[in-house]
Amino acid sequence: MLAIAHLGKGGGVALQAFQLFQDLRRTIDVELVCLDAPGPHRHLTQEPGVVVAGPLVFPKGIRTLSQALRSTRRRGDVFHALDPYYAFPATYLARVFPRIVSLGTDPGLEIAMRYGPMAGGLTRAGMVPFLSQSVVVTNSKALADRFRAYRPRVIWNGLDLRKFERLPTKEEARRLRGLPMDRTLLTYVGKVIPEKRLEWILEVLRLLPRTEAVIVGGYTEEHYGDRYYRELLATFADVAARARFIGEVPWDHVPSYLAASDVFVYPSPWEGSPNAVIEAMAAGLPSVVSDIDAHREIIEHGRTGFLAESPASMARQIDALAGDPRLQREIGSRARAFVFERFSAAAAAQAHLELYRSLASE
355, 137 Cβ separation under 8 angstroms? yes
Cα within 13 Å of Cα(309), Cβ side: 1
Quick: pLDDT tens for 280-333.
999 999 999 999 999 999 999 999 999 999 999 999 999 999 999 999 999 999
- pLDDT for res 8: 67
Q: Predicted confidence band at 149 (pLDDT cuts at 50, 70, 90)? A: very high
- Is the pLDDT at 223 greater than 90? The verdict is no
Average pLDDT of 198-213? Answer: 98
For the chain, which domains are there?
A: 2-158+344-360 (3.40.50.2000), 161-342 (3.40.50.2000)
- Is the pLDDT at 83 greater than 70? The verdict is yes
Q: How many CB atoms lie within 10 A of CB 322?
A: 20
Give all strands of the β-sheet with 306-308 in edge-to-edge order: 243-247, 211-216, 184-189, 263-266, 287-290, 306-308
Average pLDDT of 236-246? Answer: 98
Quick: pLDDT tens for 94-145.
999 999 999 999 999 989 988 899 999 999 999 999 999 999 999 999 999 9
Rounded to the nearest 10 degrees, what angle do helices 107-115 and 117-132 cross at? 160
pTM: predicted TM-score of the whole model, two decimal places:
0.91
**152: DSSP letter:** P
